[in-house]
Amino acid sequence: MHDIDKAAIAAEVRRFQYEIWQRAGTSHHTIPHLLQLFRPDHAASVHSIEYEVAAGSLGVHGVGRAQYQVAGLVDVQRSTIRIAGNLPYEVQRFTGAHELGHVVLHPGLPLHRDRPLLGDSPVPDRREREANYFAACFLAPEKLLRKAFEERFRCTTLHLDDRVAFAIAGNGAQDLLRSKTGSLEFPRAVATAQKFGIGNHFKSLAEEFGMSPTAMAIRIRELELVSY
Ligand SMILES: [Zn+2]
């Protein structure tokens, strides 16, 4: 499995978003404002990509066990994206951002269908890994995520110990402390945490950035916002 060039993809996303931000008159600075600008549908319209959310399902593709519900469809040559409207909001957003990634990164790609992204199971196809990484950078830009993280947890990296486990999980602290190094358990707890200690309540990172707990957990682990 060849590794993808993450730095190059992150740079593409920054360019792609910079143009959207510039076009908006550069008056957007707060995290919620910027995240509004960086909605996949809005990003598509700024970049002259047709983006349609279907009223319902986009049907089923494949045969037998390999059958799956289509989450998104992209025609790179025509710059058109269709998203299944019957899947959860976060899945639609991730799929939309993934399809934008194909348009930006894979000019020669033939008509392409995507299944809903499930967990962090290994993805054999290089272009799929690239589009997934594009989506993660697009939905949770590094600078914004670090800022939102620090606002909530008052540090740049959370190290899993008794104090942190209790501040995040309360009575579930022991389970969290037993989670395996490198697993998604701790990053997922951080992604969905709505409090840190006493009296400090907030919108979870997953909710703020409109991502599933798993997708946000992967991004948190990627940026090494947690150590354990
Ligand atoms: Zn794809």
Residue where a domain stops, chosen among 73, 108, 139 = 139
Per-residue model confidence (pLDDT) at position 168:
94
Q: Are residues 32 and 134 in the same domain?
A: yes
- Across-strand partners of 52? 82
- Across-strand partners of 73? 82, 113
Calculate how far, in angstroms, residue 92's C-alpha sits from the geometric centre of ligand 1.
13
Residue 107 has pLDDT above 60, yes or no: yes
Q: Are residues 128 and 19 in the same domain?
A: yes
Calculate how far, in angstroms, residue 171's C-alpha sits from the geometric centre of ligand 1.
40
Where residue 128 sits, what CATH number does that domain have? 1.10.10
Calculate how far, in angstroms, residue 14's C-alpha sits from the geometric centre of ligand 1.
20
Q: Please check whether residue 168 is in contact with residue 176, taking contact to mean a CB–CB distance below 8 angstroms.
A: yes
Calculate how far, in angstroms, residue 45's C-alpha sits from the geometric centre of ligand 1.
20
The more confident residue out of 3 and 119 is: 3
Tokens coding 225 = 């916002």
Q: Are residues 69 and 154 in the same domain?
A: no
Calculate how far, in angstroms, residue 135's C-alpha sits from the geometric centre of ligand 1.
10
Average pLDDT over residues 129-137: 96
Total of domains in the chain: 2
Q: What percent of the chain has pLDDT over 70?
A: 98
Residue where a domain stops, chosen among 86, 113, 139 = 139
Calculate how far, in angstroms, residue 30's C-alpha sits from the geometric centre of ligand 1.
31
For 39-56, write each residue's pLDDT tens digit.
Answer: 999 999 999 999 999 999
Q: Are residues 207 and 95 in the same domain?
A: no
The bridge status of strand 112-114 relative to strand 72-75 is antiparallel
Q: Is residue 34 part of a domain?
A: yes
Q: Are residues 59 and 129 in the same domain?
A: yes
Neighbours of ion ligand 1 (CB under 5 A): 114, 128, 131
Distances (CA, A) of 13 to 8, 71, 131, 138: 9, 22, 11, 6
Counting Cβ atoms within 10 Å, is residue 201 exposed (0-12), middle (13-18) or buried (19+)?
exposed
Q: Are residues 135 and 155 in the same domain?
A: no
Calculate how far, in angstroms, residue 25's C-alpha sits from the geometric centre of ligand 1.
32
- 3-class DSSP assignment, residue 114: strand
Average pLDDT over residues 65-76: 92
Q: Are residues 12 and 119 in the same domain?
A: yes
Q: Are residues 98 and 174 in the same domain?
A: no
Calculate how far, in angstroms, residue 189's C-alpha sits from the geometric centre of ligand 1.
28
DSSP secondary structure string for all residues of 47-111: TT-EEEE-SS---EESSGGG-EE--EEEETTTTEEEE-TTS-HHHHHHHHHHHHHHHHH-TT--S
Calculate how far, in angstroms, residue 130's C-alpha sits from the geometric centre of ligand 1.
9
Residue where a domain stops, chosen among 98, 123, 139 = 139
Per-residue model confidence (pLDDT) at position 122:
78
Per-residue model confidence (pLDDT) at position 109:
95
Residue 228 has pLDDT above 90, yes or no: no
Range of the domain at 41: 6-139
- 3-class DSSP assignment, residue 124: coil
Per-residue model confidence (pLDDT) at position 117:
77
Calculate how far, in angstroms, residue 111's C-alpha sits from the geometric centre of ligand 1.
10
